[in-house]
């Protein structure tokens, strides 16, 4: 974007909004909105506390385990569904139900099943992320041109080789797109799970800050979370870009 | 110029003499559910010659080619290659696809060497062979390009180089030039004749273009549609030592084109 002939960097709008926030905060209109400067100061303060560091560790651990399960199960399941009609028939309906279902409603049930601890959070992350990963992997496998598979067969490739050298590589752009959306959903899952369980990780902190009306810290924590989700998404997006040269050219 | 009388109901493929057949098609039939695609096809393909399967769309010519390639199972009958019955793909046959079937994520060099890669050949060796065939089809300098950076004609050259690189006895070409524009098509047909001359391999070629068939073929097998049957076999016997433009104006060439058209015209809507 250019303004009066000057190039405005992308993040400029963020600064403008932060300024507006600061003004509103300084005017002391409502206690919900403290000045941005106070939030940032609280943020620096926050990241040095033991409770935040522990919460972060717990959160990252649940997220990583949940995502690893979602990818480790979701990608193979999606690939199988794309290749084998009967597997597609068995799981197709369920995947489509769960991908659009309001999964937050299930968390209380998960709490009963898995207890008030990390296991519930891991399962929540898994359930939030896995379905879209399955669906995208399936879509990627289904669009592999039949002639490419025929080509590999005609040159003597085994089923395993066709899977490894043709189908997985060809479906990679969709698989990665699914993982990127899965990661974003997984972040939602970990936060929603923790808030609903309310005794671990960021959920505990959110509970603590909102109950004590500590709005600076509340917002600081929110901003840290938003930034983390964006950074994660950008990392996967970057990996996607590297293989886009052929995805776009198919 | 010898042309068999055309489009008779009582045509007997067994009356056509074939020396040293490298591929024999014996009583091949193919059904897709209740649809009969091919009815008891008997054909022999002579070693070192280019035979074209020609017919209107729906006559099953691509199906027959894929059955010969081992990519599609026949409902009954058998395919014999070099004296051995085959049921699947084999190293003595290589296929050139209508839509090129190139891996978009791989360079020209890797695509051309892919058949050899699947055979487990070491990278240095297969790249050396691939480079030789890339040069032979006129793509030197494009080794490190990706398929989407090439024109349709160049992509099919990659597909042809890949088929040559595995050194199969029989090359199966499924309408290889149909996705190539007209100017390039002619150039392609001339190049194909040069490669046939140079490589001394057996070519089985599928097309729906009569001119193309007459121009490149030693023998043309005419298929009739629904169900596909052999309706005639024609040896155009064109003098290929002449210059390509003269061949296309040669009365003998034009006569064969006209006769085939007369034989096929009642299938056209």
Q: pLDDT for A184-224, tens place per residue? A: 889 888 888 888 887 778 888 888 888 888 888 888 888 88
Across-strand partners of B43?
Answer: B25
Cross-chain Cβ contact A169/B103 below 8 Å: yes
Residues in A touching B93 (Cβ below 8 Å): 154
d(CA B17, CA B44): 9
Give the least confident one: A75-89, B68-82, B210-224. B210-224
Tell me, yes or no, whether B35 lies in a domain: yes
pTM of the predicted protein model: 0.79
Residue of B105, B118, B146 lying closest to A155 (CB–CB): B118
- In A101-166, which residue ranges form alpha helices assigned H by DSSP? 107-114, 118-142, 146-154, 159-162
In this predicted structure, the answer to whether residue A71 has a pLDDT above a threshold of 90 is yes
Q: Is A93 on the interface with B (CB under 8 A)?
A: no
Q: Is residue B218 part of a domain?
A: yes
> What is this model's ipTM?
0.84
**All domains in chain A, ordered by first residue:** 49-247 (1.10.3720.10)
Is the CB of A150 less than 8 angstroms away from the CB of B97?
yes
In a domain, residue B57? The reply is yes
Residue ranges of chain B whose CB lies within 8 Å of a chain A CB: 66, 69-71, 89-91, 93-95, 97-99, 101, 103-105, 114-115, 118-119, 146-148, 166
pLDDT band at A149 (very low <50, low <70, confident <90, very high): very high
Q: Which residue has the tokens 């290889």?
A: B176
Q: Which helix (H) or strand (E) holds B212?
A: helix B210-216
> pLDDT at position B1, please?
41
B115 contact residues in A (CB cutoff 8 A): 155-156
Continuous segment of H or E residues that includes residue B54: strand B50-54
Share of chain A above pLDDT 70, in %: 95
- Full domain range(s) for residue B208: 16-92+168-267
Is the pLDDT assigned to residue B5 strictly greater than 50?
no
Residue B33 placed within a domain: yes
Minimal CA–CA distance to B101: which of A79, A154, A242, A248? A154
Q: Residue A10: what pLDDT? A: 67
DSSP character at residue A121: H
Listed ranges A69-78, B115-124, B128-137, B153-162; the one with the highest mean pLDDT? A69-78
Task: Give a yes or no: residue B196 inside a domain.
Answer: yes
pLDDT at B2 over 50: no
Residue A229 in tokens: 């989700």
Closest alpha carbon to A56 in A197, A181, A184, A204: A204
| Chain B residues inside the 8 Å CB shell of A172 | 105
CATH assignment of the domain containing B68: 3.40.50.300
Band (pLDDT 50/70/90 cuts) for residue A76 is: very high
Q: Which of the four pLDDT bands, split at 50, 70 and 90, describes residue B162? A: very high
The answer to whether the CB atoms of A249 and B93 lie below 8 A apart is no
Instruction: In whole angstroms, give the CA distance from residue B133 to residue B136.
Output: 5
The answer to whether A148 contacts B70, with C-beta atoms less than 8 Å apart, is no
- Which chain B residue shows the shortest CA-CA distance from A158? B118
Residue B156 lies in a domain: no
Which pLDDT belongs to residue A247?
53
C-alpha distances out from residue A107 to A19, A128, A130, A183, B23, Å = 38, 11, 15, 18, 65
Helices (H), A143-214: 146-154, 159-162, 168-197, 201-211
> What confidence tens digit (pLDDT) does each residue in A86-116 have?
999 999 899 988 888 888 888 888 888 888 8
Rounded mean pLDDT of B6-25?
Answer: 67
Tell me whether A169 touches chain B (CB under 8 Å): yes
Domain count, chain B: 1
Q: Is A31 on the interface with B (CB under 8 A)?
A: no
SS3 A135: helix
Q: Name residues whose C-beta falls within 8 Å of residue B121's C-beta, 6 or more positions apart in sequence.
A: B113, B129
Q: Is B132 a domain residue?
A: no
Q: What is the pLDDT of residue A132?
A: 93
Cross-chain Cβ contact B118/A161 below 8 Å: yes
Q: What is the pLDDT of residue B3?
A: 45
Residue B189 near residue B212, CB atoms below 8 Å: yes
- CA A248/CA B147 separation, integer angstroms: 12
Outline where DSSP puts E strands in chain A. 2-3, 6-7
Kindly state the tokens that stand for A129.
Answer: 């992320």
Classify residue B110: in a domain, yes or no.
no
Distance separating alpha carbons of residues B67 and B29, to the nearest angstrom: 10
Cis geometry, peptide bond prior to residue B227 (ω within 30 degrees of 0):
yes
């Amino acid at each position: 974007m250019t303004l009066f002939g000057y190039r405005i960097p992308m993040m400029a709008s963020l600064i403008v909004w932060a300024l507006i926030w600061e003004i509103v905060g300084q005017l002391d209109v409502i206690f919900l909105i403290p000045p941005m400067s106070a939030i940032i100061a609280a943020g620096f303060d926050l990241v040095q506390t033991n409770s935040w560091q522990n919460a972060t560790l717990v959160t990252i651990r649940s997220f990583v385990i949940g995502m690893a399960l979602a990818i480790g199960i979701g990608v193979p399941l999606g690939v199988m569904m794309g290749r084998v009609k009967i597997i597609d028939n068995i799981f197709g309906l369920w995947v489509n139900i769960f991908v659009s279902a309001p999964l937050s409603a299930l968390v209380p049930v998960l709490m009963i099943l898995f207890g008030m601890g990390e296991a519930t959070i891991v399962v929540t992350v898994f359930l939030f992320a896995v379905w879209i990963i399955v669906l995208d992997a399936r879509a990627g496998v289904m669009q592999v041109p039949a002639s490419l598979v025929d080509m590999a067969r005609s040159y003597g490739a085994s089923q395993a080789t066709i899977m490894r050298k043709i189908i997985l590589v060809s479906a990679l752009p969709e698989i990665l797109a699914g993982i990127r959306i899965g990661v974003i959903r997984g972040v939602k899952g970990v936060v929603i799970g923790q808030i609903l369980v309310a005794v671990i990780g960021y959920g505990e902190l959110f509970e603590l800050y909102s109950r004590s009306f500590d709005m600076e810290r509340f917002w600081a924590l929110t901003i840290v979370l938003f930034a983390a989700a964006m950074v994660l998404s950008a990392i996967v997006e970057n990996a996607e870009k590297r293989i886009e040269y052929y995805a776009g050219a198919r | 110029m010898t042309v068999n009388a055309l489009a008779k109901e009582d045509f007997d493929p067994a009356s056509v003499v074939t020396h040293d057949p490298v591929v024999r098609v014996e009583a091949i039939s193919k059904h897709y559910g209740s649809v009969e695609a091919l009815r008891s096809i008997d054909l022999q393909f002579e070693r070192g010659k280019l035979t074209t399967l020609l017919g209107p769309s729906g006559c099953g010519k691509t199906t027959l080619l894929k059955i010969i390639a081992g990519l599609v199972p026949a409902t009954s009958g058998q395919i014999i290659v070099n004296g051995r019955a085959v049921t699947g793909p084999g190293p003595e046959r290589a296929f050139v696809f209508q839509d090129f079937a190139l891996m978009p994520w791989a360079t020209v060099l890797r695509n051309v060497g892919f058949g050899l890669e699947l055979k487990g050949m070491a990278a240095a060796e297969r790249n050396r062979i691939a480079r030789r065939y890339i040069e032979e089809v006129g793509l030197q300098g494009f080794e490190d390009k990706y398929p989407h950076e090439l024109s349709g004609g160049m992509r099919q050259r990659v597909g042809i180089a890949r088929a040559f690189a595995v050194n199969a006895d029989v090359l199966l070409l499924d309408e290889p030039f149909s996705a190539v524009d007209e100017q390039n098509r002619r150039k392609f047909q001339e190049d194909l004749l040069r490669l046939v001359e140079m490589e001394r391999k057996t070519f089985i070629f599928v097309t729906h273009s009569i001119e193309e068939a007459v121009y490149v073929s030693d023998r043309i097998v005419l298929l009739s549609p629904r169900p596909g049957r052999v309706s005639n076999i024609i040896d155009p016997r064109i003098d290929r030592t002449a210059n390509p433009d003269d061949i296309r104006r040669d009365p003998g060439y034009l006569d064969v084109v006209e006769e085939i058209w007369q034989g096929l015209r009642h299938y056209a809507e």
